[in-house]
Amino acid sequence: MSNANLPEPSLDRVDGRLKVTGTATYSAEYQFKNLAHAVLVTSKIAKGRITGLDSKLAEAAPGVLAVISHLNSPGVPGYPSVKQPAERAPIGTAFRVFYDDFVYFSGQPVAVVVAQTLEQARHAASLVQVNYQTEKHETDFEANLAKAAVAQSVQRNKTSPFQDYDRGNPDAIKTAEVKLESTYVFPTQHHQPLEPHAIIAVWEADDKLTIYDKNQGVKSAQGNLASTFKLPRENVQVNSPFIGGAFGSGIRVWPHTIAAVLAAKKVKRPVKLVLGRELMQTSVGSRPFTVQKLAIGASKDGLLTAITHEGIGQTSTYEEHLERTILATRAMYACPNVSTRYRLLNLDVNTPTWMRGPGDATGMFALESALDEMAHELKIDPLEFRIRNHADRDPERNLPWSAKSLKECYRIGADQFGWNKRTLEPRSMERNGLLVGYGMASSLYGFHRHPSKAKAIMLADGSVVVQSATMDIGPGTGTAMTQIAAKMLGVTPQKIRFDLGDSSLPDAPGQNGSATITSVGSAVHVACESLKKKLLALAAAMPGSPLANSRFEDITAKTGRIFPIANPSAGISYSEILKYHRLPQVEVTEESKPGPERDQYSMYSFGCHFVEVQVNPLTFEVRVTRVVTCADVGKIINYKTARSQSIGGIVGGIGMALMEESVMDHRFGRYVNTDFAGYHIPVHADIPQIEVYYVDQPDVYVNPIGSKGLGEIAIVGVAAAVANAVFHATGKRVRQLPITVDKLV
């Protein structure tokens, strides 16, 4: 056990100084002499057609360079030519910008105004007159629930994980000794990173594009823009070295990016487009509104006998966004009879997307609430109930876990939290006139690892440059990679520079799915290992070299010096090696990718959260007063950045539990809380002391460094732990998030 609250010798963030001194340059901050500014005009209706778009007033306004819409767009080469008569986009079509006159959701970009200054563009945008022919829209999820259906993409793919799933006897639930059925409602939530999405688009030549853009994957953005604009991949350069949070909103290339690129093409100048906060809810996806029906059966002695879990998620009319909502239920507990169903409901909204812990955060809110409800029904301690139903091997794939220390997480978490002080009955604990509740929940997240490359370069002065087109949306990628490189090469971290967020660097996946350390960390590990071998060979070739006959296993390196383990004084420094061979630098590029181990083991990160809440019995205000979290994510690379990531996930989970909700007025099909006064995320005063613990044991089967993903499991389960604590405090079970005062009255 390791307590991440204790001071550990963790490397400080390598870019911390740049960030806190304001010297890190974010997408909207690049300077260009000729920069023009773009502001979007967005639709006021949720469904219909544009019957007229009058931009004369806007074009005549001071400073305006262009007003671009479907009427005069320079065109996107990757879009098919508009059919006549025009048709609505079929399901599976990424939104096409300024393509035709159809409106698919309120807030859809219908034009963009480009001007010399931001103020001029903003004013001119207000002068664009758009007329619509309105059609009846459907945005109300609960009113349209009956229309939910199996996704078309799932119908086409018989091996899709979203196919109907039955393990054991699907009717077992009917005969369960104790049975509970509940419906859980998860509202639409938005990522709301503090840095709004922003792009500067620069056409360097007719067939050469550079963008400075907020996204989570420079390589995927590069590929998408290359195919959208029919450019050679290498002619698209994406620069995104600093990202002010994203949580999934930057995984895709969104319409505003295309709009900015089109605008830059039209005005033949660099164009900047920054989304205002009011556009963030309709421009960069959302966590989908989801309804879940769970039936859970158990024996009286506390063993799960059957679970049925149906998840219905919201998507747009033009794309199917599927997420893991019901998948965790198959793997989480040892239960012989499990059935899952997943359905989609197409509505006149913009397409949802992945948001931290996509699907699992939603599904585990329902499952872990239901577990708590059953424990209460059975009068068993909720933690004990989970331990009794612990899955010792993956019940879905019937494979051993690569590693699983969930029971150890439970033990550490419960001890540190003082779970044994919890009384069984709800509304039985009090402090200073306030109701006190203890709640807990498990967490899991599937292991993801993608092929990844890294280049490691030893320079003549013994300093090192490591490069990969990976990203840092906040977790401290550069810091962790620097540590991995420093450890392998035996060089102090201060002599290492790690480059990321640049599409010209070696291939790496975008930052999502908790896969960066495991994918890119492995690539950095093997690239540095390979570089070290190359340097050893060069050292061995030097006359009278003490390393002449050393095998790689017999040597080590420290402070830039490579030496036999058996004879530390007989070493050669990296700079001496390069100097002798008259080499300005030595470099290697390596790829690391997963192998057959994925078919032999089931791989997950696991964890648990313990939450204390206080509830005022008169005013119903809920405050989270304590959180203890413990995770098993294999080997921890950097305690400080890991702890920050866990804390961030808990904070997000508290927001999810108590305040986050995008509210739509369905008469208009339009969100009503489009600013931070209406869309609440936690502030400091909402966040108590958070204690973070890790099991910190390498998982030897997953990758060379033994680390698994942490970003998602930090948030998965937190909302349920809070809801369970609220139930324990008040006796009131809230199954529709967020748990606001009005739901407790």
Partner 1 sequence: MKPFQYVRPTRLKDAIEAVASDPNARYIAGGTNLIDLMKRGIDSSEKLVDINGLPLKKIEKRNGFLRIGALALNSQVAQHKLVLENHPLLAQALNAGASGQLRNMATVGGNILQRTRCPYFYDPVFPCNKRKPGAGCGALEGINRTHAIFGVSKNDPTQSCIAVHPSDFCVALSALDATVVAVGIQGERRIPFSNFHRLPENRPDLDTNLEKGELIVAVEIPDAVFTKHIHYLKIRDRASYAFALVSVATALDLENNRIKSARLALGGVAHKPWRLLEVEKSLVGQPVSEATFRKAAELAMQGAKAFEHNTYKLTLTPNAIIQALKNAVALV
Give 492 or 616: the residue with its C-beta nearer to partner 1: 616
Task: Answer yes or no whether residue 56 interacts with partner 1 by CB under 8 A.
Answer: no
Which of helix, strand or coil describes residue 394? Answer: strand
> Taking the complex as a whole, how short is the minimal distance between the CB of residue 573 and partner 1, in angstroms?
51
Give the contacts of 600 (CB within 8 A, at least 6 positions apart).
399, 701
| Range in contact with partner 1 (rule: CB under 8 A) among 2-10, 185-193, 601-609, 655-663 | 655-663
By CB under 8 A, the residues from 478 to 537 that bind partner 1 are none
Please identify which of the residues 319, 396, 660, 712 carries the catalytic annotation: 712
> Taking the complex as a whole, how short is the minimal distance between the CB of residue 686 and partner 1, in angstroms?
5
Task: Answer yes or no whether residue 272 interacts with partner 1 by CB under 8 A.
Answer: no
Number of residues that bind partner 1 (CB under 8 A): 40
650 near 718, Cβ under 8 Å? yes
220 near 7, Cβ under 8 Å? no
Task: Answer yes or no whether residue 22 interacts with partner 1 by CB under 8 A.
Answer: no
> Taking the complex as a whole, how short is the minimal distance between the CB of residue 311 and partner 1, in angstroms?
26
574 near 560, Cβ under 8 Å? yes
With CB under 8 A as the contact rule, the residue among 182, 530, 673, 697 that binds partner 1 is: 673
**Between 60 and 99, how does the x/- string for binding to partner 1 read (CB under 8 A)?**
--x-------------------------------------
Integer angstrom CA distances of residue 128 from 68, 69, 143, 156, 168: 11, 11, 34, 43, 60
Helix/strand/coil percent split, the chain, to 5: 30, 25, 45
Give 10 or 350: the residue with its C-beta nearer to partner 1: 350
With CB under 8 A as the contact rule, the residue among 83, 136, 158, 684 that binds partner 1 is: 684
With CB under 8 A as the contact rule, the residue among 47, 343, 609, 670 that binds partner 1 is: 670
Give 119 or 204: the residue with its C-beta nearer to partner 1: 119
10 Å CB burial of residue 330 (0-12, 13-18, 19+) is buried
CA distance 331 to 699: 18
CA distance 721 to 723: 6
CA distance 97 to 646: 38
Give 545 or 673: the residue with its C-beta nearer to partner 1: 673
**Between 608 and 647, how does the x/- string for binding to partner 1 read (CB under 8 A)?**
--------x-xxxx-x------------------------
Which of helix, strand or coil describes residue 6? Answer: coil
627 near 714, Cβ under 8 Å? no
> Taking the complex as a whole, how short is the minimal distance between the CB of residue 157 and partner 1, in angstroms?
39
DSSP code of 518? I
Q: Which two tokens stand for residue 406?
A: 């969930």
Phi-psi region of 132 (alpha: psi -120 to 50; beta: other; left: phi over 0): beta
| Range in contact with partner 1 (rule: CB under 8 A) among 148-156, 321-329, 448-456, 657-665 | 657-665
> Taking the complex as a whole, how short is the minimal distance between the CB of residue 132 and partner 1, in angstroms?
12
CA distance 262 to 251: 20
> Taking the complex as a whole, how short is the minimal distance between the CB of residue 680 and partner 1, in angstroms?
5
Residue found under tokens 């004369």: 56
Task: Answer yes or no whether residue 663 interacts with partner 1 by CB under 8 A.
Answer: yes
With CB under 8 A as the contact rule, the residue among 21, 84, 420, 432 that binds partner 1 is: 432
Q: Which is it for strands 236-239 and 208-213: parallel, antiparallel or unpaired?
A: parallel
| Range in contact with partner 1 (rule: CB under 8 A) among 68-76, 136-144, 210-218, 661-669 | 661-669
Give 270 or 655: the residue with its C-beta nearer to partner 1: 655
Give 348 or 373: the residue with its C-beta nearer to partner 1: 348
- The pair phi, psi for residue 646, each rounded to 5°, is -65, -45
Count of beta carbons in the 10 Å neighbourhood of residue 553: 7
Integer angstrom CA distances of residue 336 from 242, 294, 308, 566, 634: 47, 16, 11, 55, 28
Give 277 or 733: the residue with its C-beta nearer to partner 1: 277
With CB under 8 A as the contact rule, the residue among 12, 29, 87, 119 that binds partner 1 is: 119
With CB under 8 A as the contact rule, the residue among 674, 703, 707, 724 that binds partner 1 is: 674
Q: Which two tokens stand for residue 498?
A: 């790690």
Q: Dihedral of the CA atoms 466, 469, 472, 475 (nearest 10)?
A: -70
588 near 456, Cβ under 8 Å? yes
| Range in contact with partner 1 (rule: CB under 8 A) among 108-116, 120-128, 440-448, 459-467 | 120-128
Integer angstrom CA distances of residue 32 from 200, 201, 605: 9, 11, 45
| Amino acid residing at 194 | L
Give 162 or 620: the residue with its C-beta nearer to partner 1: 620
Give 135 or 207: the residue with its C-beta nearer to partner 1: 135
With CB under 8 A as the contact rule, the residue among 658, 695, 705, 710 that binds partner 1 is: 658
Integer angstrom CA distances of residue 66 from 70, 72, 374, 400, 659: 13, 10, 62, 61, 41
By CB under 8 A, the residues from 121 to 180 that bind partner 1 are 122-123, 126
- The pair phi, psi for residue 526, each rounded to 5°, is -75, -35
Task: Answer yes or no whether residue 736 interacts with partner 1 by CB under 8 A.
Answer: no
Give 106 or 220: the residue with its C-beta nearer to partner 1: 106
Q: Which is it for strands 429-431 and 129-134: parallel, antiparallel or unpaired?
A: unpaired
The DSSP annotation for 18-41 comes to: HHHTT-SPPGGG---TT-EEEEEE
CA distance 90 to 106: 19
The DSSP annotation for 402-454 comes to: S---HHHHHHHHHHHHTGGG--SSTT-EEETTEEEEEEEEEEEEE-----EEE
- 204 catalytic, yes or no? no
With CB under 8 A as the contact rule, the residue among 55, 106, 317, 703 that binds partner 1 is: 106
| Range in contact with partner 1 (rule: CB under 8 A) among 188-196, 280-288, 500-508, 678-686 | 678-686
> Taking the complex as a whole, how short is the minimal distance between the CB of residue 121 and partner 1, in angstroms?
10
Give 372 or 660: the residue with its C-beta nearer to partner 1: 660
With CB under 8 A as the contact rule, the residue among 278, 392, 430, 461 that binds partner 1 is: 278
> Taking the complex as a whole, how short is the minimal distance between the CB of residue 106 and partner 1, in angstroms?
8
| Range in contact with partner 1 (rule: CB under 8 A) among 254-262, 418-426, 521-529, 656-664 | 656-664
With CB under 8 A as the contact rule, the residue among 565, 570, 683, 700 that binds partner 1 is: 683
| Range in contact with partner 1 (rule: CB under 8 A) among 352-360, 549-557, 637-645, 680-688 | 680-688
| Amino acid residing at 466 | V
- Selection from 381, 390, 437 nearest residue 409 by Cα: 390
**Between 185 and 214, how does the x/- string for binding to partner 1 read (CB under 8 A)?**
------------------------------
Residues marked active site are found at 712
Chain residues in the site for partner 1 (CB under 8 A): 44, 62, 106, 119, 122-123, 126, 276, 278, 432-433, 616, 618-621, 623, 658-659, 663, 665, 667-668, 670, 672-675, 677-678, 680, 682-686, 740-742, 745
